[in-house]
Amino acid sequence: MSGLKRSALFKRQLLEITRSYRQRAGSEIALKFVDQVEESTRFVVSKPKACPVYTHLEGKEFRKWGVRDFPVSLFFRVEQDGAVILEALYAHRMNIASRFQGDIE
C-alpha cells in the first residue's frame, strides 16, 4: 500500500459531522464517531478491494465502507500505485454523487 490521502471534502465533512454529533449527542458520542471513522479507515487501507464498488464517476471507481455504529459510510478510490484516497463521508440523506463532481481532486 502506497499511502492514504484525505480529500478536502472528506476533511470538511468529518469536521461537520463530528461537530453535529457533539452538539446533538455530546462529546462522548462525537469521540466515538471519530474513533469508528479511524477504525474504518484502517480497514479500508488494509483491504480496499474487500469493499464494494459504489459507482464510477469520471472514469474512476469509487468504493464504500460503512462506519460501525453510525449511519455513515466512507467513500474512496484506489489509485494505480495502490494509494487510497478518502473522498467523502456519506450520511444518509446526502446525495454523494452530486457532491463528488465539484470536489474530486
In this prediction, residue 92 carries a pLDDT of 61
pLDDT at 30 over 50: yes
**Phi first, then psi: what are they for 34, rounded to 5°?**
-60, -45
Query: For residue range 77-86, what is the model confidence (pLDDT) as tens digits?
Result: 999 888 899 9
Query: First vs last Cα of the chain: how many Å apart?
Result: 20
C-alpha angle 40-9-44 in degrees, rounded to nearest 5:
20
Identify the domain containing residue 70 by its residue range. 4-103
CATH number, domain of 19, equals 3.30.2310.20
- The whole-angstrom separation of Cα 30 and Cα 28 is 5
Domain count, the chain: 1
- Residue 4's contacts (CB-CB under 8 Å, 6 or more residues apart) are 41, 45, 83, 84, 86
Q: Which pLDDT band holds residue 24 (cuts at 50, 70, 90)?
A: very high
